[in-house]
Structure formats: structure tokens, C-alpha cells
Structure 1
Amino acid sequence: MTEIRTLAQFLRDGADRWPDRPWCTAADGEATRAQIHLDALRCVGGLRALGVTAGDHVVLVLPNGLDFVRAWFGCALTGAVSVAVNPQAAESELSSVVEGTGARVVVAVDDTPVPSGTTLVTVGELCAADPAEPADGSPARPASYIQSSGSTGKPKFIVETHGMYTLTAEGFPSWLGLTESDVLLTSLPLSHLNAQAYSTLGSYGCGARLVLLPKFSASTFWETARDTGATVFNAIGAMLEILAERESSPAEREHRIRACYSAPAPERERHRQIEERFGFRLVIGYGLSESPYGLICPVDEPPVYGSMGRPRQHPRLGEINRARIVEPGTLESVAPGEVGELILRNPALTPGYFGLPQETAAVLRDGWLHTGDLARRDADGNHFFAGRVKEIIRRRGENLSPADVEVVLDAHPAVSSSAVIGVPSPLSEQDVKAFVLLQPGKSADAQELGQWCAERLPPYKRPRYLEFVGNWPLTETQKIAKKELPLDRTPTETDFAQRDGRRSGSRIPSRNRRTT
């Protein structure tokens, strides 16, 4: 589609429109769009001097900062495919990425141990080259790979095209109502799509400023937001819960933030508590690396609590995104209000997983992306998350979604958050186990929470096991890492099927919670 731009066109346009206006502030300095664009063109020259050509893979092992942006843009303008690795990753992970992609060049800081057969280069060395012209290309050309966990334990690489990036960069400002006067703040890692496509490219293309933090720090977050003049920030996973668990401070209301884009949707009362305490609008959305054109709750409408929103559209191209709820693995729509798999169709879909044709074919069928997420839709077109297809728990011949149990537990006034998984059952199939994190200063025992669930859930959805935790194992994007929660029996859990003294559980104040 000629209406979809490449990153070369997009980046040139931003540099031409706002050449001298400060754009990005990070730990390693501040730069305008024109400066970053020129540095990216220097990186093109540096990469070509190393023999990198269009279609080659280049691994980036860099922290959040201007150097990451320079190298990332430089790869895109070269026509190369960048593959970002968390700089905290173990050497073995870097080796698996290099092996999996066949990359010959690694852009990193000095003294980074890289696999044999690869060339280590710093961003400073790339920028020492003369600027070079960008490569020709199309919006369908791959621009980067985003890592995801694969079924074999090896990394799975999701292909992100130039068009996916530019369509998202053009759409995000309209979804949040961003203008040139806004200041976007993000602490999310640039090795993931959220910080790349939403905050970085979204701010670049609408004239807004970007504040790029090295990482999320709850202890300094509000002071940083205040001092940088941030007006919008992105949160994901447990970030808002971590902030909400801290003691109140004047700084949490001294900021200029008017909106926070976040996922997943909290339950109604928690949503309202967050907005009232911190003084901003909480805008809930849904996106994934396979398609950043997911769902969004309109920022100019009253919130629909618990909703992931309606299909995101493009401000210039109009309605380009469709969403359906179907029987998992099919294209057969379920009845309104029923739970099914969410599928998407739009021009910002991934072409697939690098080197994995079977997995690609499993999620891309007849032009639709099968997300693997369960949802339901109400009469007004609002979508509500109902779990993961792969997380479905099979219990006593019934299928249940962990999200159905989590929303009930999270509604308890003493509960901060919960995670529900299926664990092996002595009667075959699975049993339901709930992990619960309490709010600071509040307490509840297992019997109380068990009764709470019994009053609100049918018998087959009620947890058999319940365990309190002191904090969550988290992914890079601050989501609960359910795969790290124990499947085996533990001495501190409560088994509601037992008739011994463990059944009632012990009241555990939040300050004494166990760490999983």
C-alpha cells in the first residue's frame, strides 16, 4: 500500500518538521530529531563499512538511551533487521540469539562478550562514519525482530515490518490525544515493542517530547515525572500496582500527568482508586507484538471499567482494523457476550515468526491473526479479557479461564493482585491454585478468601489451593511471570480439600507475606 510509509520516510519527515526542537532526553544526553536522524545516517555508513546490507541481521545489546535509538534507527535506514537483547541477558542468551538469526554484527558497549564469528562495534564507532543515504525499500520489509518465548525453549522472533511501526507511530498519538505540547515518559525496555512503537516513534511523529528512563523505579518515579514535566506515560503489568502499594507522597500529585496508557484493565474499584489517588486518566488498551493495532478505550469517552476497548483505527486511513470473537482455532464467530478467541485483521499484522513456518501458519489464517487470547464483547462493541487459550484450566470436565477467578479475588478489599494457574490433580486433569498478594497494611486469611470465592464462583471455578506471596516474579515488561509460579505442593499453601488444620489457613499481615 503506497499510503503506508517506510521508517526512512517517517524519520525524514519528523526531522524536517521539527529539526531543532528538543526531542529525546535520556541518561546519556538530549537530542533533537535532526541530530538523531543525522546520527542514524552516520550509523548507516558505519554498518555498511562492516559489510551490513539490506536484509542482514544486527543484534543490539544496549540499555535504554540515545545510543539505542541511534543504532536502531541506523539499522532501519540501512535496510537491516535489528534484534534487541536485554543488556542484562546472560551470555548464553546472546549466543542463542546470534545463532538463531545468523547475525554477524553485535552493537554493544565495549568489552561485551560476544560469540565467536561476530563483530562487536560500539555506537560511537558507527557514528564516526560519514552519513550515507538510506536504502530503498517497501513498508513490508522487516525492520526488527521482537523476542518471545518459543515452544521449544529457544527464542521465537516476531517479525516487525516498517509499515507496522509507521502505522502505529501515526495511530498512537490519536489514541491518546497527544499534541506537540505533550511530554511522553517511558521506563519500559526498548527491547520490546511498546517503548519502540508507542512512546519513541509516537512522540517522534507528533512533535511531542520523549523522556526515556533507564528502567522503572517506583521510589523515584513521581519525582522524575514532576521534574521532567511529563504529561503522559506508559505502564504495563504490575507497574501501577507497585506505585499504588507505596506510601502516599506529595510528589504523586505534583506532576502534570493527565493520562496513563496501561494494560491489563484493573477491576472497577481499583481503576477508580488509581485515578483518584494519582490524578490522571487511566486509558486501557490491548496490543501485542504480532499486531500493535489491537484495542483501545477511547480517551474522549467515559471509561468502561474492565474493558480492553474497541478496535484501534488510523487517523488518516480510517477504519483499517477489525476484531472478531470466534471459537478457538476457527473463524466461526461466537454469540454476542460469549467467550471466544480474539482475532484481528489489519495492515499492521506481523508476517510471521522468523524461521518458523508452522507456528506462523498456526496464528495467521485467511488474513486473520489468532491472538491466543480469550475475550467477550458487549452490545456496544467493548471487549473484555477472559484469559489465554493456552492457560485454560481443565477441571472435572469443565474448561475455566484463570481470569474469571482472578477478577473475583482482586475485588476483595485486602487483595492487591492475584494469579491463578492450573496444577496437576491427583484425580487427573487439573486443580485450581490461586496466588495472592495482599495490599500493604491489610490482612486476610485463606478461609476468608475461600469463602469470598465460594459466594461468587461456581464450584468448579473455586480454588482448591491458595498461597500468599510477598511479591511477584515479573517479566521484563512487569507482567506476572506465571511460568515461574510453582506447580508442586508447598508447605505454606492452603488446601481447601483437606480436613486438617491447614484448611483454615493463617491470617498473614501484608508485612509478613511470603516471597515466591
Structure 2
Amino acid sequence: MDLAALTVGRFLAEAVEEVPDDPLLIWQDTHISYREFDEHSNRAANVWHDLGVRRGDHVAFMVDNKPEFLYAWFGLAKLGATLVAINTGFKEQETRYILEHSQAKYALVDDVYADVVAPSIDTLPGLNAVYCMQAGGMFPHFGELVARADTAAPAADVHPDDVVSFIYTSGTTGNPKAVMQSQKNFVLTGQAYPHWMRMAKGDRIYACLPLFHINSQAYSMMGAIGARGAIVLAPKFSASTFWDDIRRHKVAVFNFIGAMTLILSKKEPADDDLDNDVKVAYGVPALPGELREALERRYGMKVISGFGMSETTFGLLEPFDERRRAGAMGFPRHHPDPSVPRTEAAVVDEDGNHLGDNQIGELVLRGPAHMLGYFNDPDKTAEVLRDGWLYTGDMVRRDTDGQYYFVDRKKDIVRRRGENVSSLEVENVINEHPAVLECAVIGVPSELTDEELMVFIVPRDGAELDFADIGDWAADRLARFKVPRYYRQIDALPKTSTQKIAKHQLRASVDDPSKGYDRDLAASAR
């Protein structure tokens, strides 16, 4: 394969030539063909070009999931410019940081976010102008410019290593970092994703995760093009409409993250649960064996997990065959073309020394589709990218067959009574309690040494939480040092925009853990 020829514009053009009239994008009940999508993105490219956007420039979007987001982004890609997609949950200060840090030349916003962006305009001399997706808003209407633009793409010199997207990571300390993903990486991902998911030509992918997330950009959008299929775009994840959308649009694959599958699994069973065309649901984290098997039986699909991150779209993938094991993230995932370098994985200690089987250490990866680095942050880049290896920050172990198992994020390992405790392992056990919808475990200061475990629990609808019973449930299934001491009920866990639990917010909310249920204190009072 000629890696020097891999650009997003060429990737789309090849698909347009092959299946011009097939749907590429489905939005509600509107089908947009490959040819129509290409023309829309060409119009957007001409608008950006007329505004002075050139190769290497950065343009910020603060836009909800909608077709116009994709048209405008692909227009940038055809110029070799970079999308800076801002989390739509950000407030004024967070948004200003992204606009300033990214050195955005222009911004495109939904009118609902205009008030968030507006205060930054006068403080950022490098920001030439802001445009709005809706007519009659605070800023000029981008759609008016697009409607007048030519449907033929402007000439541009685009390279495979041009940055196609800044993916801002969710920082738990300090400001978020901008992961620089190249055009080549996204094309390689689009070519490989249908192979990983065993998609057939023309299969449809359901995308309900936000378009500012790498999952929707690289797996869903690029994967749809690679399969010569369609992306079924939803405004956001909704448990009440999820399966209706899946059925109506005959979806074959969907991606999940965070608590999505747990929420879906706890919906009341329905007679039409098996009435769907889904072949594969892919996501992280790896589900407990019983939960995965229950989902597969209930919905008639295969649930596959793996490992990927903003810094790499390759990583690990579970096998589809009998080697699949509960809790495993699988083996290194490769591109289907053997001429593309293979993905390597290893487990290392604090000094970067490779560890053996069943030893716990940090997962490191080496392969064809890693980030170029963090924008304007050479120190962090050098910390994460070392000698061609990507240091993931995730603690794992590898079994004797070469499969990898997630233990915890390095920062989410709790040191308790001289033992390292995986918060994920404890959460999986407590989530199985019939009164629990979902939970999150964190470490809190101990009056002795190390930390104590504290769990925040969201009850199922209509359930009353009996913390003593839940503690006993955990004690029956976990070693004593893994059973949480402190318990607290919460209406909803704080989540990032990609449905990951925002544990740093939980930690910040705890001033005195003993204000909730204290299992040790309750035991001493018996």
C-alpha cells in the first residue's frame, strides 16, 4: 500500500467513484448519497478557501451532531486544514482555552453556543471571524455561503501527515491536551474498521456519540466509507429511542462507550428485543462475562470489546472466535493489508522494562496509526511517545496466550492496606447488585495509611439502597481489602461527553467521606 497517498479527500473520492448513488449519511429520515455528500463537502471547502483557510490552518467547531458538521469538516480536510472540535458541554472559560490554545483562525458554532464563544472574540486577535450554523443568529450564517459555493473542489496540496483533527483529551489535572491525528491515520482506520467488525459492503453504522469524539470521527464516519456503507447519525445517545433508530435504519454495527450498555441492559425486556439487524456492538470497557452474554442473548448480536484511545485508533481487539474471554481486551489489531506495519503491544514497568505474562504493568503500543503528538506540548509528547512506543497510562496484564486484560487507569488504582485495588473490578461486582443501576469507586484519604475505598451508587428506578446489604454482597465476592468502606447514594454520576465517569469530579466533591454510610463504623456498632 502506498501510505503516501492516504488522504481523506482521496479516500472519499474513491468511494464516490465506486458507489456514487448509495447512501453515505442517514439523518433522521433523510438519505444523503456519496455523490451528494461529496458535493456538500466541496461547497464547504470552497467557502473555507474563499475565507483564506489553507493547509495547516485550524478551524474550531462548537456544533452538535448534524450533517452540516460533517460537510464542513470534510471541506477542511480537502484543504489540508485541521478540525478543532470543541466539547459542546464546555463553558466560556474552557472554550476560550481551546480557541486560544488551538490557534483557531475561524470558528463555526451552533447558535445555542454563541453566547459561550462571543466573550472570547475580542481577546483572541488570531480568530478572524465566527460563523453560525443557523440563520438569524448572533454571527453570519455559514449556510448562506455554502449555498452560493461551487460544487467542484478547490485545488489544494494535501499530504497524508497533515493534521485532520485535534482531539482534546479530558484532562483530570490541568488543561486538556490536543491530540494531533493525521489524515493517513484516519484513512488507515477507515480501511481497517470494517475488517475488524466483519462488516459487509453497504453495512450501516449507528453513531450516537458526539462528533467531537474520535470514536465517531474515525470509527463511525471513516468506517462507513471504508465499508462503502452508511453512517446513521443521531443527535445523541438516548436509551428511549436507541433501538427504534437501530431497527428503522437496519443498522449492522454500533459503537458504545462508558455506561451505554449497562443502561441498555437494565431496560425492561421487550417482545421485540431480537427484532434488529445488529451484528456487532463494539466498545469499551470490556464487559463482565455475564453481562455480555445476557446482552448477546437478549439482542442476538455479538458484543466485542478492545482498546483504543484518542492517541491511537488501533490498539487491541477481542477475537470473534472461541478464544474470546470474559474481561479480555484481546490481541493487537492489525490493518487487513499485510504491507501495512503490524501493531505491537507490551507490558512494561515504571522504568520501561518489558514484563512477562500475568505481571501487571503499563500497556505500551507500537504501530501504524499513532498520533503525531500533542499540539504545542513537546514535553508531554516526549513523555508519552518513547522510542516509537505509545505509553497509554493504562495498567494491564497479558495472559500466556497473548491476550491483554485491563486492570485500571494508573491514576484509578487505589492503594489500600498495602494492596493495589482496581476500582473497575469493584464497580463490576457492585453493578451486579439488583438495586444498583451504576456505581463509581474512588480512593479517599485514610486515617491510617494509603486510602480507603468509597463508592457512589445510582439506584435503579424504584429501588431503595441498603448499603449494609450491598457491602455484604461485595464481601461475598471480593477479598476483604477490596470491599468499600464508604457508601453514598447519588442521583446521577457525573459523566464526560463520551459517557465516561468523571471521577475527578467525584473526588473533588468529597470533603468528609464519613458523612455517608461507613461500613467499618456500622460493623463496630453491631
Separation (CA, whole Å) in 1 of partners of 2:94 and 2:77: 23
Q: Which residue of 2 is the match for residue 182 of structure 1?
A: 203
2:149 is matched with 129
Structure 1 partner of 2:79: 78
Paired AA for residue 201 in structure 1: M
Cα 1:471–1:87, aligned 2, differ >3 Å: closer, same or farther? closer
| Counterpart code for 2:143 | G
Q: Is residue 120 from structure 1 mapped to residue 130 from structure 2 by the alignment? A: yes
Aligned: 1:12 with 2:13 = yes
- Measure the CA separation in 2 of the matches of 1:145 and 1:295: 22
Deviation string for 1:198-238 (max 9, x for gaps)?
11110112111221001111111111111111122111111
Aligned to 1:235, the other structure's residue is in SS state strand
Alignment partner of 1:484 is 2:485: no
Secondary structure of 1:276's aligned partner:
helix
- The residue aligned with 1:291 is 312
Q: Is the 8 A contact 1:396 1:429 kept in 2?
A: yes
Q: Quick one: which of 367, 373, 376 aligns to 2:394?
A: 373
Given the alignment, which residue of 451, 454, 469 partners 1:430? 451
**Is residue 267 of structure 2 the alignment partner of residue 246 of structure 1?**
yes
Structure 2 Cα separation of the partners of residues 82 and 160 of structure 1 = 10
Pairing of 1:355-374 with structure 2 (within 5 A) = 355-374=376-395
Structure-1 separation of matches of 2:355 and 2:145: 53
Aligned length: 502
Q: SS at the partner of 1:70?
A: helix
Contact 2:186 2:218 in 1 (8 A): yes
Deviations 1:403-435, CA, capped at 9 Å, x for gaps: 232333345455443321111122243211122
Question: Match for 2:328 among 304, 307, 314?
Answer: 307
Determine the C-alpha separation between the residues in 1 that align with 2:191 and 2:61.
Answer: 25
Indicate if the aligned counterparts of 2:276 and 2:299 stay in contact, CA closer than 8 A: no
Question: In structure 1, what is the equivalent of residue 517 of structure 2?
Answer: 494
Please, which moves more after superposition, 313-322 or 168-177? 313-322
1:3 aligns with 2:3: yes
Q: Please give the residue correspondences for 1:338-417 in structure 2 after superposition, counting only pairs within 5 Å.
A: 338-412=359-433, 414-417=435-438
Distance 1:126 1:175, change over 3 A: farther
Matches within 5 A, 1:429-468: 429-439=450-460, 445-468=466-489
**Alpha-carbon distance, 1:279 to partner:** 1.9
Aligned to 2:49: 48
Aligned residues of 1:29 and 1:66 also touching (Cα < 8 A): no
Q: How do 1:254-269 and structure 2 match up within 5 A?
A: 254-269=275-290
Q: Which amino acid aligns with 2:154?
A: E
Which residue, out of 321, 325, 331, partners 2:343?
A: 321
Deviation at residue 195 of structure 1 after TM alignment: 0.6
1:337 CA drift (Å): 1.0
Select 2:352's aligned residue among 321, 326, 331. Answer: 331
Q: State the 1:472 CA deviation.
A: 2.1
Letter in 2 for 1:324: A
SS at match of 2:83: strand
Q: What is the identity, as a one-letter code, of the residue corresponding to 2:8?
A: L
- Give the SS at the match of 1:78: coil
Equivalent residue for 2:222, pick from 177, 201, 210: 201
Q: SS of the residue aligned with 2:104?
A: coil
What is the aligned partner in structure 2 of residue 282 from structure 1?
Answer: 303
Preserved CA contact (<8 Å) 1:345 1:369: yes
CA contact (8 A) 1:218 1:243 kept: yes
Distance 2:159 2:302 in 1: 38
> Which sits farther off after the overlay, 490-499 or 175-184?
490-499
Judged with a 3 Å threshold, the aligned counterparts in structure 2 of structure 1 residues 437 and 273 are, in CA distance, closer, same or farther, namely farther
| Kept in 1: contact 2:202–2:227 (CA 8 A) | no
Gaps of 5+ in 2: 134-141
Identity of aligned residues (%): 38
Counterpart secondary structure, 1:135: coil
Query: Could you tell me how far apart the structure 2 residues matched to 1:71 and 1:357 are?
Result: 30
Amino acid at match of 1:408: V
Tell me the distance in 1 between the aligned counterparts of 2:523 and 2:435.
Answer: 25
Distance 1:478 1:251 in 2: 26
CA contact (8 A) 2:486 2:513 kept: no
TM-aligned CA deviation for residue 125 of structure 1: 3.8
Deviation at 1:394, TM superposition (A): 2.5
For residues 338 and 247 of structure 1, do their structure 2 counterparts lie closer, same or farther at Cα, with a shift above 3 Å needed? Answer: same
8 Å Cα contact 2:180/2:375 also seen in 1: yes
Offset of 1:493 from its aligned partner? Answer: 2.3
Q: For residue 501 of structure 2, what is the amino acid of its counterpart?
A: I
Whole-angstrom distance in 1 between the partners of 2:460 and 2:29: 37
Task: Report which stretch shifted further, 257-266 or 437-446.
Answer: 437-446
Secondary structure in 2 aligned to 1:44? helix
Deviation for aligned residue 1:344: 0.5
Give 1:297 deviation, angstroms: 1.1
Q: Aligned partners of 1:443 and 1:109: how far apart in 2?
A: 41
| Rounded Cα–Cα distance in structure 2 between residues aligned with 1:316 and 1:421 | 43
SS at match of 2:358: coil
